[in-house]
Structure 1
Amino acid sequence: MTRTDYFNDPNAPAANSIGVAVSAFTLNERGELLMIRRTDNDLYALPGGNLELGETLSEALAREVQEETGITVEVTELIGAYSNPRHVIAYDDGEVRQEFSICFRANPTGGEPRTSSESKEVHWVPRNKIADLNVHPSIRLRIQHGFENRQSAFFT
């Protein structure tokens, strides 16, 4: 399924749904950030996805990271809760979802990078190369907060 992100766009379609999503800020021992290149919008992003019924947020995050990247992680800390009614995601099935994502810090515990149906690329990206990637502003904000090591979680 393809998606189109609308951010502060007065011509964006009206949201008709909202769901809980999670994303992972994961650094390896070299300080490189685990990122994917999404298959649905061709943007670079933190791995993550939707919470499924019967899961905790930590379980959803670990599952999504493993599915999208091949890397297993342990969730360690909340970075922030991101909700923005001016950021909507339109899918080709007619759903238009308002952004609501909870970003966690996670430590890699195993696995080898590999792609999936949701990730056409998986990379450990050096911090000084992230600015060169095509990353949505909402993901850039989460990355910024992850590197800041804030005293308290961000929320909107």
Structure 2
Amino acid sequence: MISYQFGQNKFNFRAAAIMIEREHLLIQREADDDFWSLPGGRVELFEDSQSTIHREVREELGWENDVGPLCFYVENFFTFKGVHYHELSTYFQVNLLSPPEFIPEHDFNGIEQEVDVVFRWVAIEDLGSYNLKPSFLMTRLMHPLPLAGAEYQIEQESAPGSTDK
């Protein structure tokens, strides 16, 4: 995976999936976190972002998928558990080839045994009641604008040196 740590500073290259079924978005969080994010994972060296999404959705959920267009390219700066992150992320629209069992607002676990990740389908209109990171996703997914290609976003949640989560 493309992730490097230098003392209290860390760089990640992540790819994430925007999966929408029946006006619901799939979100995830680690069981002990107080925020949600979109499913995905770190890009492997010499792996393109679309392949990362395809692999991660299959590894984490066991779902066959078709990775669609790039929606967002994000530079995200944040502090988490005392480490300052600079994360580059790609966000792709993903279509599920065989939609899974669909129970809105119900937590479920993926198929990876070694991680404690919780998934949930949430109504797009209710995203404002979730602590979704990066935060621009709430606005952009609740009130979508026509995309003329991918959008570039910079998300700076805390200043370097801050101890914010």
- Report the TM-score, using the length of structure 1 for normalisation: 0.71
The structure 2 residue matched to 1:41, chosen from 33, 39, 46, is 33
Query: Could you say if the C-alpha distance between residues 68 and 74 of structure 1 is closer, same or farther in structure 2, counting changes exceeding 3 Å?
Result: same
Q: 1:90-109: per-residue Cα shift (whole Å, max 9, x none)?
A: 457xx643121111111111
User: Where in structure 1 are there 5+ consecutive unaligned residues?
Assistant: 1-13
Secondary structure class of the residue paired with 1:58: helix
CA contact (8 A) 1:70 1:112 kept: no
CA RMSD of aligned residues (A): 2.6
Structure 2 CA distance for aligned equivalents of residues 42 and 70 of structure 1: 25
Percent of paired sites with the same residue: 24
Deviation at 1:41, TM superposition (A): 2.3
What does 1:1-150 correspond to in 2, within 5 Å? 16-28=9-21, 30-39=22-31, 41-84=33-76, 87-90=77-80, 96-110=84-98, 112=100, 114-116=108-110, 117-120=115-118, 122-136=119-133, 138=134, 140-146=135-141, 147-150=144-147
Deviation at 1:74, TM superposition (A): 1.1
Query: Could you say if the C-alpha distance between residues 134 and 88 of structure 1 is closer, same or farther in structure 2, counting changes exceeding 3 Å?
Result: closer
Structure 2 CA distance for aligned equivalents of residues 40 and 62 of structure 1: 26
Instruction: Kindly report structure 1 stretches of 4+ aligned residues shifted beyond 6 Å.
Output: none
Secondary structure class of the residue paired with 1:148: coil
Q: Over alpha carbons, which structure has the higher Rg?
A: 2
Q: How many residues align?
A: 135
Which has more helix, going by share of residues? 1
